[in-house]
Amino acid sequence: MACVPAPSVTRYPHRRRTRRRPLLIAIVAAVAAIGLGWLLWAAYEQADPAVSGDVHVFTIDSAQKVSFTLTVQRKDPSVPVSCTVIAQASDFETVGQKTISVPAAPTSVVDVPQELKTIREATSVSVSQCWVNS
């Protein structure tokens, strides 16, 4: 049986250690830390908005009118706020829109009954956005 000679050490060069891997790891870690920091900041800022609104109850009075109750909650009840409410049809088209101003009140939660005219029959009513009036 013949002996197989060992491969020559000079034939196969040594692997060079590259310095790119630690640099790449550091860059990825920095980007991840910045992203996580931004995510925590955004979650904290949006967790307790100055004003929020919701429509809990609505009735479809006719093909051109809906009635609803807008519930507005705000941190400071002494400031006036506004909310935009939209009505949508079954195909999600906006068929009515109304901006409602809510004056200062003694309590932080206020129910505001309203009516909204539509261009055709609505199937849902929701709050698009709310903001503090300046």
In a domain, 125, yes or no: yes
Range of the domain at 85: 51-132
Give the pLDDT of residue 44: 87
Together in a domain, 103 and 115: yes
Together in a domain, 58 and 124: yes
- How crowded is the C-beta side of 6, counted as CA atoms within 13 Å? 3
In a domain, 40, yes or no: yes
CATH code, domain carrying 71: 2.60.40
Number of domains comprising the chain = 2
Tens of pLDDT, residues 10-64: 676 666 666 678 889 999 999 999 999 999 999 988 788 899 999 999 999 999 9
Tens of pLDDT, residues 69-102: 999 999 999 999 999 999 999 999 999 999 999 9
In a domain, 127, yes or no: yes
The pTM for the full model equals: 0.68
Give the pLDDT of residue 8: 66
Picking from 70, 69, 68, the residue whose alpha carbon sits closest to that of residue 129 is 70
